[in-house]
Copies of this chain bind each other. A is one copy, B any other.
Amino acid sequence: MRFVVIGGDAAGMSAASRAKRNNPDLEIIVFEMTHDVSYSACGMPYNIADPEREIDDLVVREARVFREKQGIDLRTGHSVHSIDPSSKTVLVKRVDGQELEMDYDKLLIATGASPRIPDLPGFDLPGVMTLKKLEDGRRIKHYMATHGVRRAVIIGMGYIALEMVEAFCAREMEVSMVKPRPILLPWMNREMASVVEEEVRRHGVTMHMGQEIKGIEDSGSVLRVYCTDTTLDCEMVLVATGIRPNSELAKDAGLDLGPSDAISVDRTLRTSDEHIFAAGDCADAFHVVTGQRTWVPLALRANRAGWAVADNVTGRQVKLDGIAGTAVFKVFDLQVARTGLSVQEAKKYGFEPLEVMIKSGSRAHAHPGGSPIWVQLVGDRKTGRLLGAQLLGREGAAHRVNAPAVALHAGMTVQAFSQTDLAYAPPFGPTWDPMLTAANQLLKRM
């Protein structure tokens, strides 16, 4: 049996490796259009922050290992141009222009996602960067090293933008951030978002919300970003205005697409064609709170989905429960975490959300060295269910989000969650964990 994989990053290589472990006799061919496979894309901002480190430090396993040690036929520089589900073949183009047709028994589409780039003048200029693939990180580091970049403009203020602003500041660059929408992190509780904003500003970063971008111009010596009310000069622009799933191949093959045009998969990761799977940033998932399809392209899901595909291709029967939309990121010294639904999302899905936001401490009241922790909890008035949580703090916020994440998987009510036995010792929090204080407060409103 031949298992063909399109895409050699997290989902694709997880699937290929595990499928080979499950069944060493399986023929596995992976087509990857770039020359990079299996790397930690999420580590790029931290790598870029340090000029001494090579971007290739982020490679988890080299292509050579997959080929020689694992017996996977990994073909880099191979780009798949079309899929024909009726004949079960893919059409592949090599970097040198040669074409080949390959038939498959089972196919995995793991083509990832790509940055959304606004269709505006100047976004194709040298020095205008995006960050998704390892090659992007390489280009950014090389450009910084060779072009004396002192000033950067970041377009967008999402996860990547907020991780990259820290990286640029670590490189002692002057950074401006700009976005068209008037508020920062619109899914977040407003008071908490303002703490994040303050954290960025206190590092000397200028933030311009509510500024439409008109275009970028190369003035000869600088790049000039034209916005509604301002013009920002710099040597480098990072475009971090979101990503979109690479689902064109699937669409052209007649496969169903779901939210945000991600490839629709069932709980076994099968697309609308039973021989074709999809996993990673190109595919959707079921949300454990809504039960509906959603698209939250993050690394854990990509790896987990890759494994599940491998199991299902090799004759095991694996179904994934879905995702809770858990995410964490670092903004300078702040830990920002979320899981489940925001108030707006909850409304959209027909819940009657009630919200509470509390400020507690990262350590017991009499324990030295603590700092504030903010917790927002969202519950459903009708059913009493916990719907989501957001956390923020200088310490103790990142891992605390996992407790409500598990509660969401279990479909717990706020009442039940408020009774959970969470850990307490003075160096690690107050007697009533901030999550519990928030749950107790939310209960009063329900």
Give the interface of A toward B (CB within 8 A).
Answer: 10, 40, 42-43, 46-47, 50, 57-58, 60, 288, 298-301, 303-304, 320-330, 335, 337, 339, 364-368, 396, 398-410, 412, 416-417, 419-429, 431-433, 435-436
Closest to A324 in B: B421
- Closest beta carbon of chain B to A269's beta carbon, Å: 13
Assembly stoichiometry (copies): 2
Sample of 27 A–B contacts (CB below 8 Å): A40-B366, A40-B426, A40-B431, A42-B426, A43-B364, A43-B366, A46-B368, A60-B365, A288-B421, A299-B431, A300-B424, A321-B416, A321-B419, A328-B424, A330-B428, A337-B423, A396-B398, A399-B400, A403-B405, A405-B420, A405-B421, A405-B423, A406-B407, A407-B410, A408-B421, A409-B412, A410-B416
Question: Are A398 and B423 also in contact (CB < 8 A) when A365-B60, A405-B403, A406-B410 are?
Answer: yes
From A47, A300, A435, residue with most partner B Cβ within 10 Å: A300
From A40, A320, A327, A429, residue with most partner B Cβ within 10 Å: A40
Please, how many angstroms separate the alpha-carbon atoms of A46 and B406 in the complex? 32
Determine the chain B residues whose CB is within 8 A of the CB of A426 once the complex forms: 40, 42-43, 46
Question: Are A57 and B330 also in contact (CB < 8 A) when A426-B46, A433-B402 are?
Answer: no
Closest to A401 in B: B423
Check B409 against A327 for contact (C-beta < 8 Å): no
Which listed residue (B335, B396, B425) contacts A330, Cβ 8 A?
B425
Closest to A330 in B: B427
Determine the chain B residues whose CB is within 8 A of the CB of A429 once the complex forms: 399
Closest to A418 in B: B304
Please, how many angstroms separate the alpha-carbon atoms of A365 and B60 in the complex? 8
Closest to A45 in B: B426
Which listed residue (B328, B407, B421) contacts A425, Cβ 8 A?
B328
Check B428 against A335 for contact (C-beta < 8 Å): yes
- CB-CB nearest 3 A-B residue pairs: A410-B410, A328-B423, A402-B403
Extra contacts, 8 of them, besides A304-B419, A402-B420 (Cβ < 8 A), are: A42-B364, A46-B367, A50-B368, A300-B424, A300-B431, A398-B423, A402-B435, A406-B410
From A321, A366, A400, residue with most partner B Cβ within 10 Å: A366
Check A47 against B366 for contact (C-beta < 8 Å): yes
Which listed residue (B40, B60, B406) contacts A406, Cβ 8 A?
B406
Check A43 against B421 for contact (C-beta < 8 Å): no
Check B398 against A425 for contact (C-beta < 8 Å): yes
Question: Are A303 and B427 also in contact (CB < 8 A) when A367-B43, A410-B412, A419-B320 are?
Answer: no
Please, how many angstroms separate the alpha-carbon atoms of A322 and B403 in the complex? 17
Determine the chain B residues whose CB is within 8 A of the CB of A366 once the complex forms: 40, 43, 46-47, 57-58
Check B60 against A421 for contact (C-beta < 8 Å): no
- Closest beta carbon of chain B to A319's beta carbon, Å: 9
Check A417 against B406 for contact (C-beta < 8 Å): yes
Which listed residue (B299, B330, B428) contacts A398, Cβ 8 A?
B428
- Closest beta carbon of chain B to A283's beta carbon, Å: 15
- Closest beta carbon of chain B to A384's beta carbon, Å: 15
Question: Are A40 and B399 also in contact (CB < 8 A) when A320-B419, A421-B409, A432-B300 are?
Answer: no
Please, how many angstroms separate the alpha-carbon atoms of A301 and B408 in the complex? 23
Question: Are A399 and B423 also in contact (CB < 8 A) when A43-B367, A303-B432 are?
Answer: yes
Please, how many angstroms separate the alpha-carbon atoms of A303 and B320 in the complex? 39
Determine the chain B residues whose CB is within 8 A of the CB of A299 once the complex forms: 424, 431
- Closest beta carbon of chain B to A147's beta carbon, Å: 25
Determine the chain B residues whose CB is within 8 A of the CB of A10 once the complex forms: 431
Which listed residue (B326, B365, B422, B423) contacts A422, Cβ 8 A?
B326
Please, how many angstroms separate the alpha-carbon atoms of A58 and B364 in the complex? 10
Determine the chain B residues whose CB is within 8 A of the CB of A412 once the complex forms: 406, 409-410
